[in-house]
């Protein structure tokens, strides 16, 4: 998962504004109580951070992959 995918998933799941508040304030016990933003800055992979956030927020597993995006047309 790329960082851009992480943020797209966050905004789709939690909303454009709340996703950033959540990433900056919620301590994830699974990641040594780091926030998502701090974990990403420390080099923890976006997928690992995303899945930890999903577990902490009880996001159903079927939504962990995010929404489908349409391929670009040439």
Return d(Cα 41, Cα 20) in angstroms, integer. 14
Task: State whether the Cα torsion 42-50-4-74 is positive or negative.
Answer: positive
* DSSP state for residue 70 in the 8-state scheme: P
CA 46/CA 2 separation, integer angstroms: 7
Q: What tokens appear for 19 in the block?
A: 């996703």
Mean of the pLDDT values across residues 7-16? 94
User: Tens digits of per-residue pLDDT, 12-71?
Assistant: 999 999 999 999 999 999 999 999 999 999 999 999 999 999 999 999 988 887 766 666
Whether the predicted pLDDT of 74 surpasses 70: no
User: How far is Cα 71 from Cα 58, in angstroms, rounded to an integer?
Assistant: 29
Q: In which residue are the tokens 């909303």 written?
A: 15
């Amino acid at each position: 998962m790329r960082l851009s995918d992480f943020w797209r998933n966050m905004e789709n799941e939690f909303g454009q504004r709340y996703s950033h508040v959540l990433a900056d304030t919620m301590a994830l016990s699974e990641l040594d109580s780091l926030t998502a933003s701090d974990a990403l800055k420390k080099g923890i992979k976006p997928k690992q951070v995303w899945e930890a956030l999903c577990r902490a927020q009880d996001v159903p597993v079927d939504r962990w992959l995010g929404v489908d995006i349409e391929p670009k047309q040439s």
